[in-house]
Amino acid sequence: MLKITNTRASLFGPALLLTLAFAGASHAETPATTPGDPGQFARGAKAWANNCASCHNLRPASELRDDQWRVVVAHMRVRADLTGQEARDVLKFLQESN
């Protein structure tokens, strides 16, 4: 376990720990799309519009690379309280729109 002793670092501790956790995460630990699910893209588009737009201005999927979207979606799954399936659907939508 990482021990944070610096006061400034302790302010950013949760974000730092999340970043460190994903930096060493395998692909099995991050959201993955489900191959062969024809409705996944459409569900992802709907979830993106319904969930993400409530806090963010919707931007083009091409703004980030596929690997970057994987980290963002994993992080936002926790922040937005998305189910695993919703996160996979959104990731599919973003990566295929990229």
Q: Mean pLDDT, the chain, as a whole number?
A: 75
Convert the pLDDT of each residue in 20-55 to its tens digit.
Answer: 334 444 444 446 666 778 899 999 999 999 998 889
**Does the pLDDT of residue 9 top 90, yes or no?**
no
Supply 7's token pair. Answer: 């006061």
User: Cα separation of 30 and 22, whole Å?
Assistant: 8
Task: Judge whether 70 and 30 are in contact, CB under 8 Å.
Answer: yes
Q: Which residue ranges make up each domain of the chain?
A: 38-97
